[in-house]
Amino acid sequence: MIATGSSSPKIDRPLTVIVATDCGSTTTKAILIEKVGNEYRQTYRGEAPTTVEAPFEDVTRGVLNAIAEIEELSGWKILEGDRIITPYQDAKIGVDMYISTSSAGGGLQMMVTGVVQNMTGESAQRAALGAGAIVIDVLASNDGRLPHEKIERIRTMRPDMILMSGGTDGGAVTHVVEMAEFIAAAEPRPRFGATYKLPLIYAGNKEAQGPVRKILGEKSALEVTDNIRPVLERENLAPARQKIHDLFLEHVMQQAPGYKKLIDMAGAPIMPTPAAVGVIMETIAKREHLNLIGVDIGGATTDVFSVFDGVFNRTVSANLGMSYSISNVLAEAGLANILRWVPFTIDEQMLRNRIKNKMVRPTTIPQTLDELQIEQAISREALRLALIHHKSLATGLKGVQQERTISDVFEQQASGLSLIDMLKLDLIVGSGGILSHAPRRVQSMLMMVDAYEPLGVTRISVDSIFMMPHLGVLSTIDEKAATDVFVRDCMVYLGTCVAPIGQGKEGERCVEYEVTFPDGKMVKDRLRFGDLTLYPLELDQKAVITMKPAKAVNLGAGPGEPITREVYGGAVGLMLDGRGRPLQLPTDQQARVALLTKWFSAVGLYPTASG
Amino acid sequence: MAHSYTPGLTVTDHIEIKRRRQLPLPGTVLVQAGDRVVSNQPVARAELPGKVYPLNLANQLGVAPEEIKEYLIKKDGDSIQKDDVLAENKPLFKWLKTEIRSPLTGIIESISTVTGQILLREPPRVIELLGYVDGTVVEIHPHQGVTIKCACSLVQGIFGIGGETYGEVAMAVASPEEPLTPDRLRPEMKGKLVVGGSFLPADTMAKAKELGVAGLIVGGIHDKDLRALLGYDLGVAITGTEQVGFTLVLTEGFGTIPMAQKTFAVLSRHAGANASISGATQIRAGVIRPEIIIPQKAEQAAGLATACSERGDIQIGDSVRIIHDPFFGKIGEVAELPSELIRIPTESDVRALEVRFPDGSRAVIPRANIEVIEGG
């Protein structure tokens, strides 16, 4: 059956065993989920190279190889030749369902258009990002480019899909029609497949639907849906997002090698990987009533998700990553910003050459400790830049709908940063090789703390083996199964970071604190500026902290106001960060290296000569 | 177990390769299956639609968009010459007359009574797709291009910049360890593909540009020199369209790294031969590496193995190059292939192998940090 994406699959029996894959650009990752007693657990995993490219040119080869690895490890019989055995039979034969996500072949690349860049242009961008796309350009009537430059740009870009927006319903049609004329003149061609028409979604002023159909109906695979900005004060992204998912399945994926077969194999619509990750983040945030930031830092791109007060946002920094895009992190952050995290001195030329060598050989791994430290320094900058990018787009419009007043619109243009409030942040979820596979968990925690500079009390976790995409799709079919696995097997809680806001001279009093541990033991001490302190606190354990900040120091209750909070432990523990916010590092190289060395050894970040 | 992929660069004296030549948009294929073609011969042709210029007539004439047709002298699809009158008003007094003239030669693409603008399009530009390699056309892709088979010596590099070009292979150094200093470039190297050794300094690049060298093939360069050459810091390794005066292929990487002996030997053997070179690199899904293709004569081509993208698992005795610090650039052979995970100094447990170097010393290296030197 080919799932169309609009409807959830009907499940006519309880699910006992599920096999799920995520087809990434380089690796296809498979996991097996089983019902053990009353709860679902992830039991086995397998992976294999993705086979979208020559010589295989069939994504299902990699899927079958990854599932075959699960078969080998588990003793389960899942495959019968090239077929997945369904449903589950006793004696470890078959599975109830196969589901998958995909970002192979560069994911879903979209171009969006609007009339006013900061209004409909931005709404269209949010709709596309929320649907899991990479937005390669935003064209707007007021984007400063001349008409012929816009046409050239549309022509040279080869998106998988275009989303057109613009105008409120019943408003002027001229600018929207003009953009349609530009698109028609450019005759854009899709990235894959020279013979099919480019999918184009029109989600603008409904009065312009007729002229847009006339201009673009023949030249593109046009779909018309509800206006994403029906009135100035309200954003309505859901219909456009749904259309993007549908067209992704019906057009884009049909062109990618082997995807027709993959769609037939799957029991639920194939989702773009970031869309699935977004679904699981949103589900968890809503279930636990949390404000969270999630990050998935990959080789080529970094995705950032946030849910604040129930409002979901997602951005992708298409050229920030740890292998293919590592050199771009250097280009965007600058060498000085990377070097400030390196706890030794290094020749600039050598560092630049090393970064370029990683770019041209992206699958290599650090072999020595100093190389690991350099990679982790670069990751701090990639994470930091991706969050800045996210903050610039997570600007207060609700994922589906939000009522706004005219004054809100103007405020958004002016600030645009109002949604991400680090003091309200409850949880940071990190994912991606550099965070999930760091040799010591404390390294993951400190990378995120250094990059994000959480304020007040924030819990920190990582995705154990990158199974959030799988769980995102699963949550659309069986939320309980997805949540069980997410809580039990996916999330590795690292602990809690407590970071007072304020600055002072190194050694000055920052906070007086008391920590009461679960065994009743109490620690009373003073956190000074420049201190980084770590207390062991096991997973599933809670401690109670009382913090009495110095006069100008704030922990969320106001300057000098004490707080008492229950904090959670994890694989790392309770981290008290007295380094000051905003975090500032000395410009003098020797002083900086000394300070980094002090912090890193205080939390046991890296092995020392003595072990 | 998952497949352990250890992709290597192909460096070989004898191989049969196929290169698909594809037009950027549908056009006409100029050759037939079985035809012999040469590198600089056009094999397909397409017409790239001309640039489009919008002209807002309603604004210029000061009329409503829906009225513009009343003022137009030309209609949809009409051919126009630069300065032809496209539209004019009809005032009562002649001196109030406004004429809108065409800024270009081409056609009228469309007229919109909604926006009041007309779109003018320049004549199409013909683009010719060249053969790139000397060989035989083995497949025609109607309206798209051709596939050409070529028996050749092939050297793949790790990174390059610049597009496809052709020239005679010229050795500028005597050994792979020697850097390509400016004094090694001589005026007779104009239009040639010059092979250096371990390093290409910035002043050599400047001299190569001045002399008109077609291509440079070296072991390594410094990132800062690449940045100076391009004028920007390259963020993502997707290249091939740069225009810096020559095509550059690095065989080893960034830094001073002697060219692999085998690569140097293959290129040396073909000094004086004509070759094709491409700097195009794409290090993402669908990896493209830069390459130097030295076609062989028809009689040499008999009985060649076809280029095989799939390789078997790595074996003890395989020749490998280490592609990461601290042994970056060193070449050795696989001495041990332990199956268990090995803990390395970063405290990661990884699949590793033991490499024996020519001096007899051995080192444990993560499998991800070696590449098999392929081709025979």
For residue A149, give both structure tokens: 């430059």
* Mode of pairing for the β-strands spanning A531-535 and A522-528: unpaired
Instruction: Please give the pLDDT value at position A601.
Output: 95
Question: How would you class A203 by CB atoms within 10 Å of its CB: exposed for 0-12, middle for 13-18, buried for 19 or more?
Answer: buried
Cα dihedral A142, A143, A147, A151, rounded to 10, equals: -140
CA B6, CA A150: separation in Å to the nearest integer? Answer: 43
Q: Is the pLDDT of residue A413 over 50?
A: no
pLDDT digits (tens, 9 = 90+) for A255-273: 677 888 898 899 888 888 8
For residue B302, give both structure tokens: 């008999």
Angle at which helix A369-393 crosses helix A441-452, to 10 degrees, equals 40
CA B364, CA B334: separation in Å to the nearest integer? Answer: 10
CB B152 within 8 A of CB B295: yes
In 3-state terms, what secondary structure has residue B304? coil
Closest chain A residue to B254, measured at CA: A353
Cβ–Cβ of B114/A363 closer than 8 Å?
Answer: no
* N-term to C-term CA, chain B: 28
pLDDT digits (tens, 9 = 90+) for A599-608: 999 999 999 8
Cβ–Cβ of A359/B54 closer than 8 Å?
Answer: no
Instruction: Please give the pLDDT value at position B152.
Output: 94
CA B254, CA A355: separation in Å to the nearest integer? Answer: 9
User: How far A68 CA sits from the closest chain B CA (Å)?
Assistant: 9
For residue B240, give both structure tokens: 């091939």
Closest Cβ opposite residue B346 in set A319, A354, A369: A369
Closest Cβ opposite residue A151 in set B26, B52, B112: B52
A170 touches chain B (CB under 8 A): no
Closest Cβ opposite residue A363 in set B65, B347, B368: B368
Q: Which of A99, A127, A38, A88 is nearest to A467 (CA)?
A: A99
In 3-state terms, what secondary structure has residue A600? helix
Find which of B48, B51, B108, B115 to mutate to test the A interface (most A CBs within 10 Å of its CB).
Answer: B115
User: How far B92 CA sits from the closest chain A CA (Å)?
Assistant: 30
Which residues from chain A sit within 8 angstroms of residue B7, using beta carbons? Answer: 363
A608 touches chain B (CB under 8 A): no
Instruction: Find all residues with CB under 8 Å of A91, minimum gap 6, and list them.
Output: none
Q: Is the pLDDT of residue A26 over 90?
A: no
Instruction: Please give the pLDDT value at position B306.
Output: 47
For residue A290, give both structure tokens: 């949390």
Closest chain A residue to B24, measured at CA: A194
Closest chain A residue to B111, measured at CA: A181
CA A210, CA A222: separation in Å to the nearest integer? Answer: 12
Q: Is the pLDDT of residue A414 over 50?
A: no
DSSP-derived secondary structure letter, A9? P
Cβ–Cβ of A181/B54 closer than 8 Å?
Answer: yes
Which of left, alpha, beta for A560 (phi over 0: left; psi -120 to 50: alpha)?
left
DSSP assignments along A202-251, one per residue = E-S-GGGHHHHHHHHTTTSEEEE---S-SBTTEEE-HHHHHHHHHHIIII
* Mode of pairing for the β-strands spanning A17-23 and A97-102: parallel
User: How far A73 CA sits from the closest chain B CA (Å)?
Assistant: 9
Task: For chain B, list the domains and their CATH numbers.
Answer: 11-15+151-300 (3.50.30), 52-121 (2.40.50), 319-372 (2.30.30)
CA A219, CA B32: separation in Å to the nearest integer? Answer: 32
Low-confidence winner among A301-310, A339-348, A392-401, A456-465 (lowest mean pLDDT)? A392-401
User: How far B233 CA sits from the closest chain A CA (Å)?
Assistant: 6
Low-confidence winner among A192-206, A403-417, A521-535 (lowest mean pLDDT)? A403-417
Give backbone dihedrals phi and psi of B104, rounded to 5 degrees, phi first: -150, 170
Cβ–Cβ of A319/B236 closer than 8 Å?
Answer: yes
Higher pLDDT, A285 or B24: A285
Higher pLDDT, B171 or A283: B171
How many CB atoms neighbour CB A286 within 10 A? 12
Cβ–Cβ of A365/B368 closer than 8 Å?
Answer: yes
Closest Cβ opposite residue A366 in set B110, B285, B346: B346
A437 touches chain B (CB under 8 A): yes
pLDDT digits (tens, 9 = 90+) for B47-72: 877 777 888 888 888 888 888 888 99
Which residues from chain A sit within 8 angstroms of residue B54, using beta carbons? Answer: 147-148, 151, 181-182, 185
Q: Which of A219, A198, A181 is nearest to A109 (CA)?
A: A198
For residue B335, give both structure tokens: 């001495």
CB B253 within 8 A of CB B220: yes
User: Residues in chain B with pLDDT < 70?
Assistant: 1-8, 284-286, 297-313, 374-376
pLDDT digits (tens, 9 = 90+) for A162-198: 999 988 898 888 889 989 988 988 877 776 655 678 8
Instruction: Please give the pLDDT value at position A387.
Output: 93
Closest chain A residue to B256, measured at CA: A353
Find which of B68, B282, B284 to mutate to test the A interface (most A CBs within 10 Å of its CB).
Answer: B284
CA B54, CA B65: separation in Å to the nearest integer? Answer: 14
Closest Cβ opposite residue B346 in set A25, A26, A368: A368
Cβ–Cβ of B236/A325 closer than 8 Å?
Answer: yes
Task: For chain A, list the domains and their CATH numbers.
Answer: 17-95 (3.30.420.40), 105-260 (3.40.50.280), 288-602 (no CATH)
Closest Cβ opposite residue B283 in set A173, A184, A359: A359
Which residues from chain B sit within 8 angstroms of residue A53, using beta carbons? Answer: 285-287
Mean pLDDT, residues A347-374: 91
Tell me what the pLDDT averaged over chain A comes to: 86
Which residues from chain A sit within 8 angstroms of residue B368, using beta carbons? Answer: 363-365
Which residues from chain A sit within 8 angstroms of residue B309, using beta carbons? Answer: 54-55
Find which of A103, A361, A373, A443 to mutate to test the B interface (most B CBs within 10 Å of its CB).
Answer: A361
DSSP assignments along A98-131, one per residue = EEEEE-GGG-EEEEEEESSIIIIIHHHHHHHHHT
User: How far B325 CA sits from the closest chain A CA (Å)?
Assistant: 7
A609 touches chain B (CB under 8 A): no
Point out which residues pair with B150 in neighbouring strands: B17
Q: Is the pLDDT of residue A83 over 50?
A: yes
Cβ–Cβ of A26/B285 closer than 8 Å?
Answer: yes
In 3-state terms, what secondary structure has residue A192? coil
Instruction: Please give the pLDDT value at position A407.
Output: 45
Which residues from chain B sit within 8 angstroms of residue A109, using beta carbons? Answer: none
Question: The sheet that has B117-121: what strands, in order across it?
Answer: B52-56, B117-121, B106-111, B79-80
State the pTM of this model. 0.83
Mean pLDDT, residues A217-237: 88
Q: Is the pLDDT of residue A6 over 60?
A: no
Positive/negative CA dihedral, A130, A132, A138, A139:
negative
Residue B201 CA to chain centroid, in angstroms?
22
Q: Which of residues 292-311 of A touch B (CB under 8 A)?
A: 300
Instruction: Please give the pLDDT value at position A409.
Output: 47
Instruction: Find all residues with CB under 8 Å of B312, minimum gap 6, and list them.
Output: none
User: How far A607 CA sits from the closest chain B CA (Å)?
Assistant: 8
CA A287, CA A17: separation in Å to the nearest integer? Answer: 24
Helix, strand, coil shares, percent, chain B, to 5: 15, 40, 45
Q: Which of A229, A137, A223, A141 is nearest to A179 (CA)?
A: A141
CB A361 within 8 A of CB B324: yes
Mean pLDDT, residues A24-30: 82
What string of H, E and C letters represents the secondary structure of A26-67?
CEEEEEEEEEECCEEEEEEEEEEECCCCCCCCCHHHHHHHHH
User: How far B152 CA sits from the closest chain A CA (Å)?
Assistant: 21
CA B274, CA B166: separation in Å to the nearest integer? Answer: 7
Q: Could you give the percent of chain A with pLDDT greater than 90?
A: 48
Instruction: Please give the pLDDT value at position B310.
Output: 43
Q: Is the pLDDT of residue A382 over 50?
A: yes
Cβ–Cβ of A332/B235 closer than 8 Å?
Answer: yes
